């Protein structure tokens, strides 16, 4: 068994984001404690996905992107001079909304792709493959066809493969951007179970539009909102229990109870 | 006339007998009418085809379509007629070119024609002697050198055009497209003028240089399209795993674009393999076999065709047709081989179909 990396605490400080001249996020301050699952909820267009992409420096890939503020990984600013985007992304993994396995690779190669792409030597490939697939609870479904093409899997399996691919890198933090939005209830449930198990070894941030999912998987929840033509921001942030059962802000109450959004 | 009932595996394809007869009439009457008109009036065949047959056929099809489906049936029927008519038209054109090549070139075909050169062959020498062996070698060498030099350049250009955010991209793309309209004879003259200025001898390598600007735009443009088709998600996936840009490109984007890049190379080769003018201007022809691209005379297939086609002697004309046929066969072999090689490695991985899980 690999020695798993320790989970880390991630925090954002006054994160503001621009696309060109347009500001889309304003002063987001959130703390993601180690081994906790944090759900980001809010209506479409409020900047959740944009925010989560600032956490592993994927945001800067978009032409015209701008950013102010800091993101700290165990106290170190990932936008600081001591960090570069590549080493940030090795420590902070990401799962996207749409499953995106590498179509030219087999299931096995997809799992090992992170190691190869980041230029590491692969010593115990079989072990990494099995461990990662087990942690993403897809091992039993694919163990007999590791050399099949990854795109031969169903959508739900592809998404769990993508999770396994991130896990092979042993990230300290895992960011998930609506990982279940394209999946059926069965696959969704399995991914939720996976998230619960993973939280023992890493910090997880998940964007979701599914209120029940946020309640099932997360320890704390942040509610994002963008009023018309103003940048988005966090309205309320706290324990999931509190956000859903006793929100302080009226807008949070309306949103979690389905009155708008 | 009755039709045996088919099991309804394709219920949407069921056509009742009445409709069948209508379709049969609609597709035979215009043809018969056209033939009749040609016989009676002596109308030119081609004019009759466009001026009589096509309108008649359109009207007949529209009538059947209208009877079956009303207004919307007319459009569908007209579209079907137009598609079939013009597809047939183009197919006949292409087939007649191939047929002409085969029928004219066939008499030159023999094993010896592929393997021997034209040393000791005069204009009247029988076809049993001599061949295009030296021209095949020359073409493969000249085109091969051009390809080896141009493919990296073209693909590098495509990479620049797709991956860079620079503002000069637009200018470079426009220039590339402008070059693709360059008359090949100008490319030849350009290289020839350089050679004269610098006092270089004509040789195969000059021919390769003249072919380069013709091949480059094709490869760059098709490769650019191939790279553009790779979803940006894949690049993000690779970068999110901590890949540096170059690894994301070489290990993820390039493999995903592979079959498109192979097509780019093939189209590039097809673009130049039959080019005649630049080679006539820059490459001295020979009747003997030469493997030397860098000095002396070397024969190529297009130059061979050009050289013999204008001859007043029948055996020489036959040689030219034979060489043209060989050129076509060569392209077919190159295409077939490349397709098989690239398919065996990458077809399985084409990101097109999603199989359901078991």
Of all helices (H) and strands (E), which one includes residue A24? strand A22-32
Q: What local confidence, expressed as pLDDT, does residue B357 receive?
A: 38
Q: How far apart are CA B223 and CA B233, in angstroms?
A: 19
Q: Worst-scoring range by mean pLDDT, A204-208, B65-69, B187-191, B239-243?
A: B65-69
Q: Coil, strand, or helix at residue B7?
A: coil
How many angstroms separate the CA of residue A102 from the nearest CA in chain B? 7
Please report the pLDDT score of residue B354 as a whole number: 40
Report the pLDDT value the prediction gives residue B352, as an integer from 0 to 100. 39
- A141: which chain B residues are within 8 Å (Cβ-Cβ)? 357
For the stretch B71-115, pLDDT in tens is 888 999 999 999 999 999 999 999 999 999 999 999 889 998 999
Tell me how crowded residue A140 is: count the other CB atoms within 10 A of its CB: 9
pTM of the model: 0.79
User: For the residues A161-180, what does the mean pLDDT come to?
Assistant: 94
Task: Return the pLDDT at B353.
Answer: 39
What's the mean pLDDT in A167-182?
92
Euclidean distance between CA atoms A188 and B179, whole angstroms: 53
What is the residue-averaged pLDDT of chain A? Answer: 91
Does pLDDT of B238 surpass 70? yes
Contact A104 B243 (CB under 8 A): no
Verify whether the Cβ–Cβ distance A100 to B348 is below 8 Å: no
Tokens of B122: 């005069």
**Alpha helices, DSSP H only, in chain A?**
48-54, 85-91, 107-117, 125-135, 139-142, 155-167, 185-198, 211-217, 240-245, 250-256
Name the closest residue on chain A to residue B348, using Cα atoms. A149
Tens-place pLDDT, residues B154-193:
999 999 998 887 888 889 889 988 998 899 999 999 999 9
- Between A and B, how many residue pairs show a Cβ–Cβ distance under 8 A? 96
Q: Is the pLDDT of residue B305 over 90?
A: yes
Residues of B in Cβ contact (< 8 Å) with A113:
238, 241, 251-252
Quickly state the pLDDT bin for B350 (edges 50, 70, 90): very low
What rounded mean pLDDT belongs to chain B? 88
ipTM associated with this complex: 0.90
Shortest alpha-carbon distance between residue B156 and chain A (Å): 21
> Quick one: B6 exposed, middle or buried, by C-beta within 10 A (0-12, 13-18, 19+)?
exposed
DSSP string, B118-129: -TT--TT--TTS
Q: How far apart are CA B285 and CA B179, in angstroms?
A: 27
Flag whether residue B246 sits within 8 Å of chain A, measured between CB atoms.
Answer: no
C-alpha span between A84 and B241 (Å, rounded): 14
- Cβ distance of A61 and B236 shorter than 8 Å: yes
> Could you tell me which residue, B358 or B237, shows the higher pLDDT?
B237
Nearest CA in chain A to B236: A58
User: Largest Cα–Cα distance of chain B, in whole Å?
Assistant: 81
Most A CBs within 10 Å, among B240, B251, B354, to test the A interface: B240
Write out pLDDT tens, residues A99-124. 999 999 999 999 999 999 988 888 88
Euclidean distance between the first and the last CA atom of chain B, given in angstroms as a whole number: 47
Tokens for B302, please give them: 């297009």
* pLDDT of res. B145: 97
Instruction: Calculate how close chain A gets to B271, using CA atoms only, in Å.
Output: 29
Mean pLDDT for B243-272 is 92
Cβ pair B242:A169 closer than 8 A: yes
pLDDT recorded at residue B7: 65
Check: CB of residue A221 under 8 Å from CB of residue A253: no
CB pair distance less than 8 Å for A113 and B346? no
| Greater model confidence, B18 or B219 | B219
CB contact under 8 A, B238 and A103: no
Residue of B nearest to A91 (CA): B242
Calpha distance A39→A192 (Å, rounded)? 12
Cβ contact B258–A87 (<8 Å): no
Q: Computed from CA positions of residues B47, B53, B56, B58, in that sequence, does the dihedral angle turn out positive or negative?
A: negative
Which residue's structure tokens are 């693909």?
B155
pLDDT > 70 fraction of chain B, expressed in percent and rounded: 94
| Residue B76 CA from chain centroid, whole number | 31
In angstroms, what separates the C-alpha of B313 from chain A's closest C-alpha?
56
Q: Can you give the pLDDT at residue A195? A: 93
């Amino acid at each position: 068994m690999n020695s798993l990396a320790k989970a880390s605490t991630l925090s954002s400080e006054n994160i503001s984001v621009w696309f060109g001249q347009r500001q889309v996020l304003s002063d987001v301050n959130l703390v993601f404690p180690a081994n906790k699952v944090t759900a980001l909820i809010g209506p479409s267009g409020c900047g959740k996905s944009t925010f989560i992409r600032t956490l592993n420096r994927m945001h800067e890939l978009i032409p015209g992107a701008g950013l102010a503020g800091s993101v700290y990984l165990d106290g170190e600013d990932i936008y600081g001079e001591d960090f570069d985007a590549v080493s940030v992304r090795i420590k902070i993994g990401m799962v996207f909304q749409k499953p995106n396995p590498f179509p030219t690779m087999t299931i096995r190669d997809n799992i090992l792709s992170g190691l190869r792409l980041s230029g590491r030597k692969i010593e115990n490939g079989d072990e990494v493959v099995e461990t990662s697939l087990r942690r993403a609870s897809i091992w039993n479904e694919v163990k007999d066809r590791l050399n099949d093409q990854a795109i031969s899997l169903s959508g739900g399996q592809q998404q769990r493969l993508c999770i396994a691919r991130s896990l092979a890198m042993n990230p300290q933090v895992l960011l998930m951007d609506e990982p279940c939005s394209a999946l059926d209830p069965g696959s969704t449930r399995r991914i939720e179970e996976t998230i619960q198990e993973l939280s023992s070894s890493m910090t997880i941030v998940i964007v979701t539009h599914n209120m029940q999912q946020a309640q099932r998987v997360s320890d704390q929840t942040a509610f994002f909102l963008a009023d018309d033509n103003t940048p988005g921001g966090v309205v309320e942030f706290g324990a999931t229990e509190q956000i859903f059962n006793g929100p302080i802000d009226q807008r949070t109450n309306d949103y979690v109870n389905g009155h708008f959004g | 006339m009755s039709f045996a009932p088919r099991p309804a595996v394709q219920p949407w394809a069921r056509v009742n007998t009445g409709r069948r007869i209508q379709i049969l009439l609609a597709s035979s009457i215009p043809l018969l009418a056209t033939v009749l008109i040609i016989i009676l009036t002596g109308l030119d065949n081609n004019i009759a085809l466009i001026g009589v047959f096509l309108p008649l056929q359109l009207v007949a099809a529209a009538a059947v379509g209208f009877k079956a489906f009303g207004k919307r049936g007319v459009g569908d029927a007209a579209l079907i007629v137009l598609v079939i008519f013009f597809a047939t038209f183009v197919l006949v054109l292409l087939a007649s070119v191939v047929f002409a090549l085969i029928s004219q070139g066939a008499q030159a075909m023999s094993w010896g024609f592929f393997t021997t050169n034209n040393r000791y062959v005069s204009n009247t020498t029988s076809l049993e002697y001599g061949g295009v062996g030296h021209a095949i070698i020359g073409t493969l060498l000249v085109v091969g050198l051009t390809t080896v030099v141009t493919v990296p350049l073209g693909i590098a250009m495509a990479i620049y055009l797709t991956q860079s955010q620079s503002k000069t991209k637009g200018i470079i793309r426009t220039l590339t497209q402008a070059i693709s309209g360059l008359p090949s004879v100008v490319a030849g003259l350009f290289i020839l003028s350089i050679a004269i200025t610098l006092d270089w001898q004509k040789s195969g390598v000059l021919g390769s240089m003249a072919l380069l600007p013709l091949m480059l735009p094709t490869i760059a443009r098709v490769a650019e399209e191939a790279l553009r088709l790779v979803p940006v998600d894949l690049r993000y996936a690779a970068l999110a795993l901590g890949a540096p840009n170059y690894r994301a490109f070489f290990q993820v984007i390039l493999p995903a674009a592979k079959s498109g890049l192979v097509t780019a190379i093939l189209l590039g080769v097809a673009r130049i393999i039959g080019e005649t003018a630049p080679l006539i201007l820059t490459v001295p022809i020979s009747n003997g076999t030469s493997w030397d691209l860098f000095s002396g005379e070397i024969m190529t297939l297009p130059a061979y065709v050009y050289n013999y086609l204008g001859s007043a002697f029948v055996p020489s004309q036959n040689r030219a047709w034979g060489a043209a046929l060989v050129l076509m066969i060569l392209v077919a072999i190159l295409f077939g081989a490349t397709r098989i090689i690239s398919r065996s490695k990458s077809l399985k991985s084409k990101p097109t179909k999603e199989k359901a899980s078991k």
